[in-house]
Structure 1
Amino acid sequence: MSLDYSVEFGGLELNPEDLWIYWREEEGHFDLIVYFPNYSEEARSAFVEAAYILLDMAIGEYYVAAGIRYIDHQLLPENPEANGLLPFKALPEVFYEYIDRRG
């Protein structure tokens, strides 16, 4: 899936190509961490709001609200792949596979 867009919110410009995710399925629920290369706690609310816009665009507002139990926001580590992270563009595929497994 091409995530060919960016979001400007609260003085931030976020491009999905720069973001990474970590997800897990626990007790039948989908949990997610979104990693940003320039994340800061001081601007947390802007990052959270922008992330919700990006998530809505990637998998749909309904699934963000009803399908994800937990969402966190963190600073991207230096080597995301070595930390088991996936590019943000992988989210639709892994999320819809999770939905299909649940039936």
Structure 2
Amino acid sequence: MKKAFAGALIVMGFSLFGNSAKASSEDRFWSWFAANEARLFEFEKDQEAIFDSLQAELQRINSDLTFEFGPVKDGAREFVISAGGIKSAFAAVESTYAMAPSLKRWVWVKFRPRRWPLSDLEYGGKKVRAEEVRYLLAKDGDRAGIVLFFDGYNEQEKGAYGQMAYLLLDEALGEYAVEAQVGFIEFHSTESKYFSQSSPLPELPQHFDEYFRSRAH
């Protein structure tokens, strides 16, 4: 009986230590952030060094975590905690956000939010204007499949177009929605037989929201 009781205490102690160890990594990050708050708020003065330090501190929580800064508005900045589009890191985003302190000059945001207007992009020698990209929304189980149409798209350069497509979708729908609500993502040229059914990409956010609202009723 004593042995069983001792064993239970060991298991309980291990569980508590594990939880506190995990929490301490987030506590450590926010303590570091608060101590460096003035430098972080004016990161443009030493951007490379500050970003390197910030990324290193975040990755002590989870190696996939990353971040974004917003511009200063009304004396405050947004600080975005992102999983870099990697779903396995979503829990780390949630736990880090949940432990964020109250700092007067900061607004905390979990996951990259929608951005407007959508950005024009250049990647791998390719330039894409967001307003010239078109999309088609389709049912994919309990998710929404998306086909994106690019002028000049070809399979040989699928990698470059794919990178730009995910950046555009992140801006249009937000990081969380792309991972949690979007199913298949396909790329077609404007010569596709489906192109005539497509709509301009700037209309996607409203169409996407309407699609899921209609499924909820």
Report the TM range for the smaller structure's normalisation: 0.7 to 0.9
The alignment's C-alpha RMSD in Å is 2.3
The answer to which structure has the higher helix fraction is: 2
Q: Distance in 2 between matches of 1:99 and 1:78?
A: 26
Select 1:19's aligned residue among 133, 136, 144: 133
Unpaired runs of at least 5, structure 2: 1-114
Q: Distance in 2 between matches of 1:4 and 1:31?
A: 20
Pick closer, same or farther for the CA change 1:28–1:78 going to 2, 3 Å.
closer
CA contact (8 A) 1:33 1:73 kept: yes
TM-score for both structures, normalised by structure 1: 0.85
Q: Which secondary structure state, in structure 2, belongs to the residue aligned with residue 17 of structure 1?
A: helix
Question: Could you tell me which residue of structure 1 aligns to residue 171 of structure 2?
Answer: 57
Select 2:200's aligned residue among 54, 73, 87: 87
Unpaired runs of at least 5, structure 1: none
Question: Could you tell me which residue of structure 1 aligns to residue 187 of structure 2?
Answer: 73
CA contact (8 A) 2:134 2:200 kept: yes
Q: Distance in 2 between matches of 1:19 and 1:58?
A: 12
Which structure has more RCO (C-alpha within 8 Å, separation ≥ 6)?
1
Question: Could you tell me which residue of structure 1 aligns to residue 210 of structure 2?
Answer: 97
Identity of aligned residues (%): 26
What letter matches 1:98 in structure 2?
Y
Task: Give how far 1:26 is off.
Answer: 4.0
Q: What is the total number of aligned residue pairs between the two structures?
A: 102
Q: Which has the larger radius of gyration?
A: 2
> Does the alignment pair 1:47 with 2:157?
no
Pick closer, same or farther for the CA change 1:78–1:102 going to 2, 3 Å.
closer
CA contact (8 A) 2:120 2:129 kept: yes
Q: Which secondary structure state, in structure 2, belongs to the residue aligned with residue 99 of structure 1?
A: helix
Pick closer, same or farther for the CA change 1:68–1:4 going to 2, 3 Å.
closer
The answer to which structure has the higher strand fraction is: 1
TM-score for both structures, normalised by structure 2: 0.43
Pick closer, same or farther for the CA change 1:41–1:78 going to 2, 3 Å.
closer
Q: Distance in 2 between matches of 1:30 and 1:85?
A: 15
